[in-house]
Structure 1
Amino acid sequence: MKDYLVKALAFDGTIRAYAVRSTEAVAEVQRRHAMWPTATAALGRSMTAAVMMGAMVKGEDKLTIKIDGGGPIGSMIIDANAHGEVRGYATNPQTHFDLNDQGKLDVRRAVGTDGLLTIVKDLGLRDFFTGQVPIVSGEIAEDFTEYFVVSEQVPSAVGLGVLVNPDNTAKAAGGFIIQVMPGATDETIGKLEERIANVEPISKLIDRGLTPEEILGEVLGAENVEILDRMDVTFTCNCSRERFGNAIIGLGEQEIQAMIDEDGKAEAHCHFCLETYEYPKEELEGFIREIRSES
């Protein structure tokens, strides 16, 4: 099954819902960064939340999420957009601990609880929205729930899960976001709270191979759900040789000349996909000529 996301309404349009299968995207990041299990669970949950939040923006808008709880994994940076594209990395991808008291990967210990969850939405035309909340759990799902309530004033329930194989590869990943909209009755909210309290853990739903539609059916009741849209989800990195080249030009003539004098070349390394781009002396000299021609 390919990764994909669904958008839905429930209970006569008073509940907004998203669900996603993100297994392949998380597996790609694990493979590229040779991530250890606890780090895979932490970053995988974060990417899963990010791709659903990306589905909430429009057109060419995008968002960047930074999670830094002061734990051993360091910072996690995730980018997502309205087209189902997501990428991410952790400062210390080789982070792992023994299972916690519940027999699960100890994401809280890896992430830490002394720090911030920051979300920057790039809405185009130099218009940015920044929301920031203290990390309350380190388990990721609870932290995104806190963000929605505090920063966006939208009562929400977030479920995120990642399962890792014995060989460290990602086995399954996915999640849901349920949001209460204006007009929801106390009766609807009561039903919703009861269903969410009694639903199986998201990791078990994913392990059973449920589709995003079926996940929402489990959480909300299939008879209450109206699917609005479906979107493919992929790990996508937008780095390129040209993009990094423009960044080098932006450093200015003096800095580029120093690269030539000291190393005879320049290298650019993408933190997200780990691609490396080399710029030989001749190309750097061409950048200098380009700068001079425009001055």
Structure 2
Amino acid sequence: MKDYLVRATAAGSQIRAFAVTSREMVETARRHHNTSPVATAALGRLLTAGAMMGSMMKNDTDVLTVQIKGSGPIQGLTVTADSHANVKGYVENPDVMLPPKNGKLDVGGALGIGLMNVIKDMGLKEPYVGQTILQTGEIGDDLTYYFANSEQVPSSVGLGVLMEKDNTVKCAGGFIVQVMPFIEEKVLEQLEENIKNIHSVTAMLEKGYTPEQLLSEVLKGMEVEITDTMPTKFYCDCSKEKVAKAIISIGKKDIEEMISEGKDIEVKCHFCNTAYTYSVEELKEILQYAKRK
């Protein structure tokens, strides 16, 4: 099944909801970064959430970034998404290994205690920045807390990544459900009951649930209207030119030192691990450009 995302409303627009299947996206990230199972699960959950949160933005040029910094061995995660649900991301320590906790990958233990930053660049003078303390490090709980506290939107976020025995990704996906200020008490009670009855997102994904079926579980007993369906994927827009700009940012002195060593250098994109090689001649051109700025 190709990765895709659905947007929906329920109970006469009292609820808005998003759901996604993201196995290919998470497997692509795993291959790019050669992540361990627990790092794949952590990055996969945040990529899955990033796709849905990106699709909440209005304009083609809007960019959303979610950064997590934690005290655990994984150290941190960064995911960036656009309004078309294209996402990219990386893990600070992709090799982290931890024993399972309660039979599951210990994402919370890998992240530890820390902070989550959500940055929305919507073309204004300053980007919107929301920051919250990690609640459990399980990412779904942390985003539920972020929406309620930073955006004042009561939400429920469910995310899941299940690994195969060979450490490839078996299935991945999730949902975000948000309630509007005018929600009726009985609708809210029904929603809370439904969410309480969902024991595991991964169990539903393993059964082959589509995004529509995920939402039918979360929004059981309500009239659901699917408003939009869109493809989602891991996509990095890096290029040799863009990475050259990153080299400029390290400063003229460091570029001069690289040139004096007389060797080609290799620079990797953080987000997709693609390696770009720059010859001494190319470094000289970059230095000339930096001096003109």
Whether TM-score is above 0.5 comes out as yes
The runs of 5 or more residues in structure 1 that have no matched partner are none
Alpha-carbon distance in 2 for matches of 1:204, 1:193: 19
**CA displacement at 1:290 relative to structure 2:** 3.9
Runs of 4+ in 1 over 3 A off after TM superposition: 249-255, 263-266, 288-292
> C-alpha separation between the residues in 1 aligned to 2:127 and 2:214?
33
| CA separation of 1:287 and 1:35: change in aligned 2, threshold 3 A | closer
Aligned ranges for residues 1-295 of structure 1 at < 5 Å? 1-59=1-59, 60-101=61-102, 103-112=103-112, 114-221=113-220, 224-251=223-250, 253-291=252-290, 294=292
Q: 1:290 to 1:30 in 2, by over 3 A?
A: closer
CA–CA distance in structure 1, aligned partners of residues 33 and 273 of structure 2: 8
Q: Distance in 2 between matches of 1:260 and 1:272?
A: 26
Deviation at 1:146, TM superposition (A): 0.3
Aligned counterparts of 1:244 and 1:99: Cα–Cα separation in 2: 38
| CA shift in 2, pair 1:283/1:222, >3 Å | farther
Letter in 2 for 1:99: P
Q: CA RMSD in A?
A: 1.6
Instruction: Work out whether residues 15 and 179 of structure 2, in 8 Å CA contact, stay in contact via their aligned partners in 1.
Output: yes
| Count of equivalent residues | 292
Closer/same/farther in 2, CA of residues 19 and 260 from structure 1, 3 Å limit: same
> Is the Cα–Cα contact under 8 Å of residues 41 and 105 in structure 1 kept in the other structure?
yes
| Gap change, CA 1:131 and 1:265, over 3 Å in 2 | same
Secondary structure of the equivalent of 2:182? coil
Change (3 A) 1:23 1:122: same
Residue 287 of structure 1 aligns with an amino acid whose one-letter code is I
Measure, in 2, the Cα distance between the counterparts of 1:232 and 1:109: 32
Aligned partners of 2:188, 2:221: CA distance in 1, in Å?
16
Residues in 1 aligned to 2:252 and 2:45: alpha-carbon distance in whole angstroms: 42
Task: Give the residue type in structure 2 aligned to 1:188.
Answer: V
- Deviation string, structure 1 residues 169-203 (Cα, Å, up to 9, x no partner): 11100000000112101111001001111134111
Displacement after TM superposition at 1:72 (Å)? 0.9
Partner secondary structure for residue 236 of structure 2:
coil
Distance of aligned partners of 1:222 and 1:243 in 2 relative to their CA distance in 1, 3 Å threshold: farther
Structure-2 separation of matches of 1:165 and 1:93: 18
Q: Are residues 93 and 288 of structure 1, via their aligned partners in 2, closer, same or farther at CA, if it must alter by over 3 Å?
A: closer
AA aligned to 1:171 is: K
Q: Give the distance between the partners of 1:254 and 1:69, measured in 2 at CA.
A: 33
The superposition leaves residues 87-121 of structure 1 with CA deviations (integer Å, 9 ceiling, x where unpaired) of 111111122322212x2111111111x21011111
Q: Answer whether contact 2:243 2:269 (CA < 8 A) is retained.
A: no
Percent identity between the two aligned chains: 47
SS of the residue corresponding to residue 95 of structure 1 reads coil
Deviates more, 1:246-255 or 1:4-13: 246-255
Return the offset for 1:84.
Answer: 1.2
Q: How far 1:249 moved relative to its partner?
A: 3.7
Give the TM-score normalised by structure 2: 0.95
The 8 Å contact of residues 35 and 168 in structure 1, kept in 2 or not, is answered as no
Q: Check conservation: 2:172, 2:205, Cα contact below 8 A.
A: yes
The 1:119/1:267 distance shift into structure 2, 3 A limit, reads same
CA distance in 1, matches of 2:15, 2:38: 33
Q: Describe the shift of the 1:250–1:91 C-alpha distance in structure 2 as closer, same or farther (beyond 3 A).
A: closer
- Asked whether the 8 Å contact 1:156–1:178 carries over to 2, the reply is yes
Q: How far is 1:252 from its partner?
A: 5.3
